[in-house]
Structure 1
Amino acid sequence: MTQEKEKTLKVAKQAFDNLMYGFETSDWNPLLNILADDFTFWFPIGKYHGLNVGKERAKDFFQYVTEVFGQTIKLTTLERVTSSETTVVFEFRDEGMMRGQPYKNRIAISFDVRDEKICGYREYLGSDGKSN
């Protein structure tokens, strides 16, 4: 593994840990603090569908995540981590409650890393048949 790929993986793993921490505590500051100023994210559904730009938009998004899930989301299985020199993809399963209903999902997320900051995030949803 190249030194650049190792640095990218380290930053992305920290971002993933901060994401899981945000789900469990509703404290998104550790994640927001490692986002680049020109951060972009892509989300597949809802009011954040498509490309979103900026840390403020990300802050609004994660607040929305807290409104939808509270502090119920838990990682159940980290299935795979795939990385390159600039991007790391995490495939995992999680579960909890979404607006008071059982939620269980398969998700793939990717983090783009530049200068030891997260500059991009993309999320892809699947379903284990128990989500709304």
Structure 2
Amino acid sequence: MEDFKWESKIAVFLNSNAGKYLSDHPFITLVLLVFAVTASVPVGLFLAFAVVTLITITAYSIFVEIFLLTIGGVILLCVLCCLALVAFWISCVLSILYIIGSHIQNYSLIPRVPEKTVSAGDMETKKDLND
């Protein structure tokens, strides 16, 4: 029963403006997918860092926490910007490989022209012409 709920949520998303836009622009969808996958680790590390920082508030002053969270936020911002660039370039490489692969596949599947077969009747007329 839960699968049906997921399918209806997916259908609602695909019918939304964002879903239609992403369906029409697969390269942007690929960039967002690669970015989301690669960004999950630094975001998780930052959240773990934030939790540890919040736990240590009892031992440190509020200024130390603000300073550490600011530094962590700046570092996270830098990492996410770099990951966005990496995701863009990975998507470019994957798209180029896909295009090259599809062209190679299209050229390898070009139908060959069969050799001309000569029927028995044509052979008889050819013999008559040679005599």
TM-score above 0.5, yes or no: no
**Larger helix proportion of the pair:** 2
**In which range does the TM-score fall when normalised by the shorter chain?**
under 0.3
Structure with the greater alpha carbon radius of gyration? 2
TM-score normalised by L of structure 2: 0.24
TM-score normalised by L of structure 1: 0.24
